[in-house]
Amino acid sequence: MTRFRLTIEYDGRAFMGWQRQAHGPSVQQALEAAVHDISGEEATVQAAGRTDAGVHASAMTAHLDLKRQMTPFRLMEALNARLKFAGAPAAVLDASEAAPDFHARFSCIGRAYAYRIRCRRAPLTHEQGLVWRRPNLLDTGAMQEAANHLVGRHDFTTFRHVHCQAQSPVKTLDRLDISVEGELVTVHAAARSFLHHQVRSMVGALVTVGEGRATPADVRTALEACDRSALTLNAPPDGLWFVGAVYPDIVG
């Protein structure tokens, strides 16, 4: 039995999320079907994060175990061929052998997301579903000031989905930075782990500040309220990308 470590990218528009489910296609299901096609084995593909419907990934780490003897390169090539044949918008960017005790989720010590916002009046064409369009320019300085209130260890109940299954709402947010490149505003978030909808909820709050509908102090007040009803706006999944997982050996 060999454990393989994969780096995967996917377009979340075609999926109901990462996790296998009965009511629609998932990234996990597509990969597991591809594994079965090439090996005949019922392998489970575990990921560093369970992205929601419509959320994308540019570098999701995952692992699986196979009895069949294959080189990592052959596995990667075979999986990509099956995914392409199935019409699944996902690709394996890298594959390697992993230690038997490596676990994509439980070995992970850090996760990073990027949320992309396109500021323009015109409707989206090429980027529809891949970014969040806002019609006006955002005050990114005010957004960063608001973001600074969220960095650190806090009770993030306000920014937590009502159906979040995490045992505690307390998380340590290591990074929440704003970058700007022309019309594109990107919110970069990093932490050991996140609550369900935490990144989208934080971005929604920051955008209300960037549009002048709230102040940085309002975001701090919402955080301290520890009340979901204090959240002004939850950003859609369109602009959210899982961009990296961190492990004790390397940064992925």
Name the pairing type of β-strands 184-191 and 170-181.
antiparallel
Angle at 139 between CA 142 and CA 241, to 5 degrees: 90
Computed from CA positions of residues 67, 68, 73, 77, in that sequence, does the dihedral angle turn out positive or negative? negative
* CA dist., res. 44 & res. 249, Å (int): 23
Name the pairing type of β-strands 2-10 and 56-66.
antiparallel
* CA dist., res. 245 & res. 61, Å (int): 6
- Please classify residue 208 by burial: count the beta carbons closer than 10 Å to its beta carbon, then call 0-12 exposed, 13-18 middle and 19+ buried: buried
* Token pair listed for 194: 């996140």
177 belongs to the catalytic site:
no
Catalytic residue among 52, 65, 177, 238: 52
Q: List the catalytic residues.
A: 52
